Amino acid sequence: MSRYPQFKLSVLGGLAAAAFAAPHVHADPLDLSRLPPGLVAIPPTPDVVLTVDDSGSMGEKVGGGDNNSKIFRLKEALNLVFNDKVLLPDGKIRLAWQSMWNNGGSPGAGSLTPGAVNSMKVLDATHRTNFLAFANSLTANNGTPSHKMLKQVYDYMRTGEGINSPWAYTPGVTEKPYLGCRRAYHIFLTDGAWNGQNAAVRPGEVDNVTTTLPDGTVYDTASAQTNVY
């Protein structure tokens, strides 16, 4: 018999942990740095924009014996994550949010405007409370203008300098210094693809416009080659 305890190696999420048969060994989770070698600074708090689908199809039942709707399950999941201060402690992220139709009537949630209640701010007690009020107010109605939501995020994140800029050092509190290495994420929670051709719902959309490109090629919406787009 080997003098050494047998073990098996398991890997989860890129982190490895050895589980020994005997003696028992316990270890703290290992956080692998994503910073360049030799750099010991803490990376800036990331910006997160959360888009929530509150279109009519979200009112459908989940299925499989579950009598609750998709939007019910979505709200349940948001409450589970944002009420867990171990999983998501204060200061972990900077958060902004929006919904397709703002059916719940939460202040500003139908758009993204610098300085609004739902604009980018450090996730603290007040911002968390405001977000949970938004999440719990959601109801399902209308179509699915995904294009509009993506463009709103794009336009918002292009906001110039200012104390309420999503790139400010602490939005709403301190404008500078701006940190170029700050990461930004858009999390889009939806049950499916977009629908509707209403240009007012999808501002700036050019997929259905025949256009001559800079190299002289014609992007023709009637062409079988462009229909896939």
| Residue 4: inside a domain | no
| Residue ranges, the chain, pLDDT below 50 | 1-26, 197, 199, 201
| Residue 57: inside a domain | yes
Provide the domain count of the chain.
Answer: 1
What is the rounded distance in angstroms from the CA atom of residue 69 to the CA atom of residue 193? 18
What is the rounded distance in angstroms from the CA atom of residue 149 to the CA atom of residue 126? 25
| Residue 37: inside a domain | no
- SS3 at position 150: helix
| Residue 42: inside a domain | no
pLDDT at 118: 97
pLDDT tens profile 97-133: 999 999 988 988 999 999 999 999 999 999 999 999 9
pLDDT at 196: 55
| Residue 98: inside a domain | yes
**pTM for the whole structure:** 0.71
Is there a contact between 159 and 115 (Cβ–Cβ < 8 Å)? no
Is there a contact between 195 and 143 (Cβ–Cβ < 8 Å)? yes
| Residue 192: inside a domain | yes
Is there a contact between 99 and 89 (Cβ–Cβ < 8 Å)? no
Q: Please, what is the Cα angle at 121 between 116 and 125, to 5 degrees?
A: 105
Using alpha carbons, list the distances in angstroms from residue 5 to 17, 29, 94: 15, 22, 45
Collect all residues with Cβ–Cβ distance below 8 Å to 37 and sequence separation of at least 6: none
| Residue 85: inside a domain | yes
| Residue 149: inside a domain | yes
Which residue has tokens 């700050």? Answer: 182
pLDDT at 213: 84
Domain that holds residue 187: 47-196
